[in-house]
Structures are given as C-alpha cells and as structure tokens.
Amino acid sequence: MKSNRCRLPLLLIYTLLCTPLALPPLRAAQNAPRTVDSVLLLMDRSAQDFHSLTANLEHIKYTAVVNDTSTETGLLYFHKDDKMRIDILTPDKRTILRNGDSLFVYTPKVNRVEEFNLGKNRSLIDQYVRLGFGSRSAEMLKSYDITLTGEGELDGKKVAILQLIPKSEEVRKQVTKIQMWIDEASWLPLQQKFFEATEGDYIQFHYQDLKKNLKLNDNKFKQDWPKNVTRVKP
C-alpha cells in the first residue's frame, strides 16, 4: 500500500494544478522569433497583477493499459492567498477545497469529506499549483529543464508549446514531463498535460471562460457541507 506521502502529490496534481489567467495582450516583440527565454519573459510579465480567478475546467485522465479516458468538468475559483475551490459538476458531483495547508475532498453522493494536511508536501504542491503563473520563470527553471517545442493553435488562439522535464528524481517517479500550451496573446497557459511515470498515462487540464481578479466572497473557501457529514483522514 502506498504511503500518504506518495498519494498526496498525485491527488493534488489531479485537482490543484496551475490555472491560466485572462490578461490584456502583451504586444511587445509579438513578431520576434520565439525562444524559450522570450516566452518565459512574457509569461513573467503577464502574471504580475494576479489576485483571483474563475474558470470553467475540463479534466481528462487517460489510462493506457485499459485504454480508458475519463473526463470531468466543473468550475474553479482561485485566490492567490493559497485558497482554491473546484466544484466538479459532471459526471459525479464533488468539491475540492484548499485553504492554506488544509485540503478537503467532499463527495455529496455518500455525504463524506476526506481531510488532508499538506504539511511537508506543501512546497511540492505549490510548485505545481503555481506552474505558469504567480511565480517567476527563475523558480520554474530551478525545478525543470524547459524547451520550446513549437507553435500551434488551441481554441482558435495561437500558442507556444513548452516542454518541462522535472530535475528532481523523486518528481520524475510520478511525472516524467509536462507540456504547456501558452496563449501568445496573454502569455499564460490554456492547457497543461502531465505525463505520468506509467507509460502512456497522462492527466490533462483545459481552462475556458477565464475571468481574472473578480472579487470572491470568503465564504466560497469555507467548508459548506452538512454538519452530519462523515469525516475521514486517509
């Protein structure tokens, strides 16, 4: 049986990964040849004034050995002060709530909430959560070898495609590489794809209808499940 130390980062990868922001286009150097350095510089600039975000979320999990693709959709609410809420709407309702070091996963169908303390895993979790926004490229470069693999189009928008290889052997035991599709208008991720250590398996996150810096009520990040909920600490 795997320990919580192994399970927790994977759970957070599934639920708390980087969220793109909708910022005004950065027009400087738009026609210059793309390089890793120029893309990272523009990503740095685009993240400077982030406070909060709401977005529609699509999460895809592919398992190669059984050729199975599962898809969840929902709503995401994010605040820079280590607060995040994901309301999964389909196919089965579920709420994932983070407030500081506390993480809760509430399943209304069985009226149960799982409670986790991020503890020593917090720095690793924040590395994923802030990937592509809210942190400087210098911090990303400490953790990843980053290359620009090309350009393409996603959701009708021109994107630069980055590949990140974790430098940590411990991280590579879970995630071998990451691809990010960076919007060349806002210079922030539209999509991330995490390749797991099991060959062929991946997790993908896609964000739409992004709204940046809306005022979010603090109640959005409080536990709002029934008082008689069953609490479990895995």
Mean pLDDT confidence for 191-199 = 94
Total number of domains constituting the chain: 1
What are the tens digits of pLDDT across the range 203-216? Answer: 999 988 878 788 99
> Using CA atoms, how far apart are residues 170 and 149, in angstroms rounded to an integer?
25
For residue 49, the model assigns a pLDDT of 79
Q: Which domain holds residue 151?
A: 4-232
pTM of the entire predicted model: 0.81
> Using CA atoms, how far apart are residues 29 and 193, in angstroms rounded to an integer?
27
For residue 225, the model assigns a pLDDT of 96
CATH number at residue 148: 2.50.20.10
What are the tens digits of pLDDT across the range 127-166? Answer: 666 566 556 788 889 999 999 999 999 999 999 999 999 9
Structure tokens given for 98: 């983070």
- Mean pLDDT (the chain) is 84
In the predicted structure, residue 179 carries a pLDDT above the cut 70: yes
Strands (E), 91-196: 94-99, 102-107, 112-117, 144-154, 157-166, 175-183, 189-196
